[in-house]
Structure 1
């Protein structure tokens, strides 16, 4: 499918992933080839056991393929070791998870600055960038609040700010509305759409059709194979 974008931030070439469970081999992914251009907004849908989580782990550099190649922003990450993968994750990928993964003892701005701490950014710059990211997600008045003092939707906004603070090539949102009520889910999806409109590349992992329709296009995975691609909102 043609898109209005040019440079692929993600390119998978015949990627397969096999897990060994005792004497049994399980093919979680079976020869997936995929390009996601810079600035795209893609939802990946699939039921439990479809390979959706395995694909997410590979796209997020949390795992590597058994075979095939994965190029992230032109860099082959297919056979990197854990130290190299951790560096790539910190520099190139912003994660938003179903569980907010915020540290309860830290205020919002300290949670947001954590990726910059790991990247060795100085204290003053870390705080400034964290404040800017929180303002961008509409939480300028909540920077000193701890997670327990925030609603679920606000906590997920903090998580989005944390994903943005390192200026990554890619935002990977894994079931980001799974723990939210309907109103908070709409707010988070609207925020992701705003980020896409500003040029961010976003991959949304979900099993919910209503959530997937927020994306520009939908990919479906079943039995470790990508079956089709459609403009979001089409049958």
Structure 2
């Protein structure tokens, strides 16, 4: 993305949440974006995830400028190219782990037999093959987050975008989720984590800091690695 700005109007004043962001995320990268509350990191996440569009500037995802797309087009991009992992898991309490993971495929119109096969494979990948018929209330916090990671993976997206993914977890579950992200990245998946926790950010291969709507510091942690 180049020169990305985002301004919100309250009706009385305008607030500039992003003030000119230049950021390139290569395929296969594991990037952490760190910043305190109010720094603009959530706004940046929404734009990377095609949940919002910039007020100015451009954002190319796999070579296509998504900045001027309609909401319908953005929804299609999200469903095909991006998997989301949220702090509060966002699982439906009445559905089993299997059915929760199947949901993105339901929205995509995938036939039932294929949905089940792909959801089972995703749950197996995150180590929950024996918990597919459990509902969220029957799973630990770490297991629920693994279900949400499986849901993010089931459409085989180019990018996994995780918003404060360990914020609701204890230290043991945090370690499990971070290890899982590392394994997925080693297998070639692009991972972008939004966090305010330094220990979480340090697990990435590339770390950038955002303050007051600007990227103030970029620090390579190891060798760096889908939006431009």
User: What's the offset of the Cα at 1:23?
Assistant: 2.5
TM-score normalised over the length of structure 2: 0.96
What residue is the counterpart of 1:182 in the other structure? 171
Q: Distance in 1 between matches of 2:12 and 2:162?
A: 34
The answer as to 2:141 corresponding to 1:152 is yes
What residue is the counterpart of 1:134 in the other structure? 123
RMSD: 0.8
What residue is the counterpart of 1:214 in the other structure? 203
Which structure is richer in relative contact order (CA contacts within 8 A, separation 6 or more)?
2
What residue is the counterpart of 1:198 in the other structure? 187
What residue is the counterpart of 1:66 in the other structure? 55
Question: Do the aligned partners of 1:73 and 1:169 also contact (CA within 8 Å) in 2?
Answer: no
Note the alpha carbon deviations across 1:146-188, whole angstroms, 9 max, x for none. 1010000000000000000000010000000000000000000
Note the alpha carbon deviations across 1:65-100, whole angstroms, 9 max, x for none. 001111111111101111111111000000000010
Corresponding residue SS for 1:162: helix
Q: Which runs of 5+ in 1 are unaligned?
A: 1-11
User: What's the offset of the Cα at 1:31?
Assistant: 1.0
Q: Distance in 2 between matches of 1:187 and 1:204?
A: 15
Q: Which runs of 5+ in 2 are unaligned?
A: 223-228
TM-score normalised over the length of structure 1: 0.93
Runs of 4+ off more than 2 Å: none
What is the aligned residue count? 222
What residue is the counterpart of 1:42 in the other structure? 31
